[in-house]
């Protein structure tokens, strides 16, 4: 979702941009479908790393990525986001004296217990060009000693993808055919270890979903790892009633259709915080912090943590009063990738 618009803009500008898929996200339903939905070209290289611990996965990506750089001898390596692939590829590039470009730089949750936070901080420190999505991200980089001339506020490439594909989104009524909640439902996603790996937290969240399901239907595309955790703790059956529609991992166009039609979103995903803000859909984020504060200060997002009372109270506010009304942040206009490429052309 972040790479798609950038590849298109680089190609339009006449730049050669080989695409490397590390294979960190390897499930066909979640990865292969995304490439198809977004119209991404077949990767020039697939490292096929697969799953493993954070340390193993990061190290394996580094070992497999180095020969790719030897083969292509690029002027720069562009990485996006905050996953293990981001820091692994950036580290290999900088050790080979190749410039690093980080898209979605400067986002901070302030929580160093999150692996993604470590990835973000380290990648930013070794990058030559840093592209931010919101002013606070730019401020974060300045506080961390990053030179101003390296940092460029360009907007959000996730929203580029959203705007480009909104008309192609699969209608929710089609996805939820036969389900009584195809017009007015809560869309749920959960995947962060802090939520799904702790049985007490997971049980508390399921209790909340059961309460919510008494008032509005609940649509829940389940990440494979999350489904396994539900099974391990014996909670999956509780979500099997008529108020719940459990779906396999949704493709991008399916998820876009569900999000656009939802009454509200309950999630721990960073991307959905941004997309719900762009579409004006109330979002309850079941985390204690967020690296995307603009979705709270200007958007439709509310941090509710995992406290049952806070979740239900915020849910009732949406049902009774419509929930938080926000606005789309500046530069979230569908042209972030073009601004990124303009800077790259000028600087490289």
Residues marked as catalytic: 191
Whole-number Å distance between alpha carbons of 103 and 157: 9
Integer Rg of the chain from CA = 20
């Amino acid at each position: 979702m972040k790479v798609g618009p950038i590849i298109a803009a680089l190609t339009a500008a006449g730049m050669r941009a080989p695409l490397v898929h590390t294979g960190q996200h390897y499930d066909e339903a979640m990865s292969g479908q995304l490439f198809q939905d977004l119209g991404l070209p077949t990767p020039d290289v697939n490292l096929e790393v697969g799953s493993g611990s954070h340390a193993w996965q990061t190290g394996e990506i580094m070992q497999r990525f180095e020969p790719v750089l030897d083969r292509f001898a690029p002027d720069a390596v562009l990485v996006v986001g905050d996953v293990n692939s981001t820091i692994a590829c950036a580290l290999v590039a900088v050790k080979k004296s190749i410039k690093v470009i980080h898209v979605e730089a400067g986002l901070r949750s302030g929580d160093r217990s999150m692996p993604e936070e470590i990835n973000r901080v380290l990648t930013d420190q070794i990058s030559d060009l840093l592209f931010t999505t919101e002013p606070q991200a730019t401020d974060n980089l300045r506080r961390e000693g990053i030179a101003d001339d390296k940092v460029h506020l360009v907007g959000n490439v996730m929203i580029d993808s959203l705007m480009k594909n909104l008309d192609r989104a699969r209608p929710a009524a089609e996805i939820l055919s036969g389900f009584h909640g195809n017009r007015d439902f809560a869309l749920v996603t959960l995947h962060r270890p802090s939520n799904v790996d702790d049985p007490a937290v997971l049980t508390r969240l399921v209790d909340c979903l059961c309460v919510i399901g008494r008032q509005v239907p609940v649509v829940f595309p389940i990440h494979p790892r999350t489904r396994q955790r539900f099974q391990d703790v014996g909670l999956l059956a509780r979500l099997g009633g008529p108020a719940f529609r459990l779906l396999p991992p949704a493709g991008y166009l399916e998820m876009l259709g569900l999000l656009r039609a939802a009454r509200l979103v309950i999630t721990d995903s960073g991307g959905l915080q941004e997309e719900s803000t762009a579409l004006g859909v109330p979002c309850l984020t079941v985390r204690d912090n967020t690296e995307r504060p603009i979705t709270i200060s200007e958007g439709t997002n509310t941090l509710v943590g995992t406290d049952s009372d806070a979740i239900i109270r915020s849910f009732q506010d949406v049902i009774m009063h419509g929930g938080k009304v926000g606005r789309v942040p500046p530069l979230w206009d569908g042209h972030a990738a073009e601004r990124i490429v303009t800077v790259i052309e000028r600087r490289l």
